[in-house]
Amino acid sequence: MLAPTPIVLEPPCMLAAVRELYSRRPEARYLEPWELQHVLFSLGYPDDLADEAEIDAAIEVARSDRTSDEGAA
């Protein structure tokens, strides 16, 4: 028998996970990286806990996306 091929070949992108979380739960925008680390893990976004530095970088990009969208409106 052949082993099943996984649908997702690489771990999820932290930036995409943070953006999705922010769109679903806007109150999460105000969490610190260490708090967001726990929320992302609890909601099942990553399989394991991501580094706070990786989460912090994703937060900065996601927040800058939001502020640039607000300035364009």
**39-73 per-position pLDDT tens digit:** 888 888 776 777 888 888 888 988 887 666 555 55
User: Does residue 7 carry a pLDDT above 50?
Assistant: no
**Integer Cα distance of 61 and 65 in angstroms:** 6
**9-27 per-position pLDDT tens digit:** 455 688 888 888 888 888 9
pLDDT at 8: 43
Confidence of residue 2 (pLDDT cuts 50, 70, 90): low
In DSSP notation, 10-70 reads SPPPHHHHHHHHHHH-GGGGG--HHHHHHHHHHTTSSSSPPPHHHHHHHHHHHHHHHHHHH
Q: What is the pTM of this model?
A: 0.64
